[in-house]
Chains A and B, each alone.
Chain A
Amino acid sequence: MRSSVIEAAGVSKSFTIPSSRRETVREHALDFFRPRAQERLRVLESVSFELRQGESLGLMGRNGSGKSTLLKIVSGIYPADSGRVDVHAAVTPILELGVGWNPDLDAIDNIELLGTVMGMTLKQLRAATSEILEFAELEKFAHLELRHYSSGMAARLAYAVAFRAVRDVLILDEVFAVGDAGFKERCQQRYRDLHRAGHAMLLVSHEPRTIAAFCDRALLLEDGEIVLAGSAETVAHRYLELLTDGPALSARSSLR
């Protein structure tokens, strides 16, 4: 049996609702003697799963079900409130890549900034810059400041860097929803190549066909709980039922 690269056990997470927070020195000073209850929003509740070497695991769920939070916890960007996540391999997360560049820098400088954050050396990045720009079809705009890029161009650049920076495990959030048909096809081909090369993948998508086509297994999240774990086709089908007002799922009944 293949060894596991990510093990999550009983992971829970909640956030303080911003409207109930004091956010300035002034608010803390003036409201010092006025107690204010902090409202917490539960996002994940005792989530457990395992990702094995070379496996492609899909993650589905409606908006607000906790998918992105789970990916960030597994990537080490957010800490869990309780539970345990053991990651036994180097992870490359591809999350929220469409936003958050330095708009005052051109594409090449931004490639170096994002690439070094993702663990590449400058030598590797400089050798790969042409390939990255070609993958994103942005060779002509290499010296253009990012402030002049459209959101689609910025997203293509980000995915091109991230797909070049892949280490052992790839964690992707809605990667195939970016760019035109040609760019999507290149991303899908790169995904297949990486999977074939033995990389483990954790893929979030709202698109049942994507999960069914690219994943070996899948999980369905609803209100922060895993309500279904099974084959990619089964989970994709169940997700569609959920969207079309199918019977409410509960964690206990579905996993039974």
Chain B
Amino acid sequence: MVSVAITRVRQGHAPFAGLVWTLVRTDFKTRYHGTIGGFVWALLKPLTMFLVLMAVFSYVFANDPQYKLDLIIGLFLYEFFQESTKAGLLSIRAKGYLLTKARFPSWIVVVTSASNAVITLALFSLVLVTFLIATGRAPTLGSVALYAVYQVLFFAMVAGFSLAASVLFMRYRDLNQVWEVVTHAGFFVAPIIYPLGILPERIHAYLYAWPPTPIILFSRSVLIDGRAPSPLAHVLLVAEALAILGAGALIYRARSPRVAEEL
């Protein structure tokens, strides 16, 4: 009796670039009805949050001249984290109708689910850098490059989480509700509306373990303060991103072969 299950399939080189582009394009079209107006409408949420929080907290932190810039950077980066991880968690369930049609690398569906959030973040970053240049606080090219690296690492963390969460969601059907609670609580863990310095230094290390925290702080540091964090801080950030991506990929690899059965 043969006891090992093997399915060896020679499928040739499928044109997955076309699939990636189609998923990105159709996601954009579905979310924003294919219009720039729809896209701008989606930006209203973080902008409204910014206006409300700024109105309240700029009084509390009136002695910090950079508070408004720090706040908007923190808000948009956290919005990216919240939106992209939510889309990633739901991605396999949402695109399940494709997984039962043909054999293709389903991780493409998971990773491309963050495309709308990536487009929003890219646009925000462009506007932010333009604003800094226009107001005489132009960041150096090195600072902008480091900022871009941080966003790539942020995306790696999101991809790692999404890979794991998308397949776990098929087994734990209330994982999206759990994650919503976590991200709401996490909003106050990350130093978005308050400066990290107001908290005791002994708990800073714990706050850095929450992925948005180092990304937000490092991004502010290079763009607003013009200071790059230490090499050790960068090593720790890369290690954190790789650990999340690696763990997510392992969980995904273990669970994804049976995911079509759970749809």
Q: Which of B6-37 contact A (CB under 8 A)?
A: 6-12, 14-16, 18-19, 21-23, 25-26, 29-30
Q: Which single residue of chain B is at the shortest CB-CB distance from A114?
A: B101
A178 to B23 Cα, complex, angstroms: 28
A237 to B96 Cα, complex, angstroms: 37
Q: Which of B51-75 contact A (CB under 8 A)?
A: none
- On whether the beta carbons of A87 and B7 are closer than 8 Å, the reply is yes
- On whether the beta carbons of A81 and B22 are closer than 8 Å, the reply is no
Is the CB of B3 closer than 8 A to any CB of chain A? yes
* Neighbour of A76 across the interface among B23, B103, B172, CB < 8 A: B103
Is the CB of A121 closer than 8 A to any CB of chain B? yes
A95 to B102 Cα, complex, angstroms: 8
Is the CB of B201 closer than 8 A to any CB of chain A? no
- On whether the beta carbons of A100 and B97 are closer than 8 Å, the reply is yes
Residues on the B chain within 8 Å of A24, using CB: 172-174
* Neighbour of A10 across the interface among B1, B25, B98, B257, CB < 8 A: B1
A105 to B171 Cα, complex, angstroms: 29
- On whether the beta carbons of A73 and B26 are closer than 8 Å, the reply is no
Q: Which single residue of chain B is at the shortest CB-CB distance from A162?
A: B101
Q: What distance in Å separates the Cβ of B182 from its nearest Cβ neighbour in chain A?
A: 11
Hey, what's the 0/1 contact readout for A12-34 against B, CB within 8 Å counting as 1?
00010000000111101000000
- On whether the beta carbons of B19 and A116 are closer than 8 Å, the reply is yes
- On whether the beta carbons of A117 and B26 are closer than 8 Å, the reply is no
Q: What distance in Å separates the Cβ of B72 from its nearest Cβ neighbour in chain A?
A: 31
Residues on the A chain within 8 Å of B1, using CB: 10, 46, 82
* Neighbour of B97 across the interface among A101, A120, A125, CB < 8 A: A101
- On whether the beta carbons of A85 and B8 are closer than 8 Å, the reply is yes
Contacts A9-B2, A10-B2, A84-B4 given; does A96 touch B100 at CB 8 Å: yes
Is the CB of B258 closer than 8 A to any CB of chain A? yes
* Neighbour of A118 across the interface among B2, B101, B173, B175, CB < 8 A: B101
Q: What distance in Å separates the Cβ of B33 from its nearest Cβ neighbour in chain A?
A: 9
Residues on the B chain within 8 Å of A77, using CB: 99-100, 102-103, 260
Q: Which single residue of chain B is at the shortest CB-CB distance from A18?
A: B262
Q: Which single residue of chain B is at the shortest CB-CB distance from A93?
A: B102
* Neighbour of B21 across the interface among A92, A95, A122, CB < 8 A: A122
- On whether the beta carbons of B2 and A83 are closer than 8 Å, the reply is yes
Q: What distance in Å separates the Cβ of A152 from its nearest Cβ neighbour in chain B?
A: 18
Is the CB of A238 closer than 8 A to any CB of chain B? no
Residues on the B chain within 8 Å of A118, using CB: 101-102
Is the CB of B178 closer than 8 A to any CB of chain A? yes
- On whether the beta carbons of B260 and A109 are closer than 8 Å, the reply is no
- On whether the beta carbons of A23 and B173 are closer than 8 Å, the reply is yes
Residues on the B chain within 8 Å of A75, using CB: 102-103
Q: Which single residue of chain A is at the shortest CB-CB distance from B98?
A: A117
Is the CB of A104 closer than 8 A to any CB of chain B? yes
Hey, what's the 0/1 contact readout for B177-189 against A, CB within 8 Å counting as 1?
0100000000000
Q: What distance in Å separates the Cβ of A171 from its nearest Cβ neighbour in chain B?
A: 10
Residues on the B chain within 8 Å of A116, using CB: 15-16, 18-19, 22
* Neighbour of B14 across the interface among A9, A96, A104, A119, CB < 8 A: A119
Contacts A28-B172, A118-B102 given; does A99 touch B97 at CB 8 Å: yes
A78 to B258 Cα, complex, angstroms: 6
A130 to B53 Cα, complex, angstroms: 52
A26 to B172 Cα, complex, angstroms: 9
A109 to B27 Cα, complex, angstroms: 11
Q: What distance in Å separates the Cβ of A84 from its nearest Cβ neighbour in chain B?
A: 5
A23 to B16 Cα, complex, angstroms: 33
Residues on the B chain within 8 Å of A105, using CB: 26, 29-30
Is the CB of A236 closer than 8 A to any CB of chain B? no
- On whether the beta carbons of B178 and A25 are closer than 8 Å, the reply is yes
A104 to B97 Cα, complex, angstroms: 14
- On whether the beta carbons of B18 and A73 are closer than 8 Å, the reply is no
- On whether the beta carbons of A86 and B97 are closer than 8 Å, the reply is no
Is the CB of B104 closer than 8 A to any CB of chain A? yes
A23 to B30 Cα, complex, angstroms: 29
A83 to B2 Cα, complex, angstroms: 5
Question: Which 3 A-B pairs give the minimum distances between C-beta atoms?
Answer: A100-B97, A76-B103, A116-B19
Could you show 18 A-B contacts with beta carbons less than 8 Å apart?
A: A10-B1, A23-B171, A25-B178, A46-B1, A81-B5, A83-B2, A83-B5, A83-B6, A85-B8, A90-B11, A99-B97, A100-B97, A102-B97, A113-B23, A116-B16, A119-B11, A119-B14, A119-B102
B interface residues, Cβ below 8 angstroms from A: 1-12, 14-16, 18-19, 21-23, 25-26, 29-30, 96-104, 171-175, 178, 257-258, 260-261
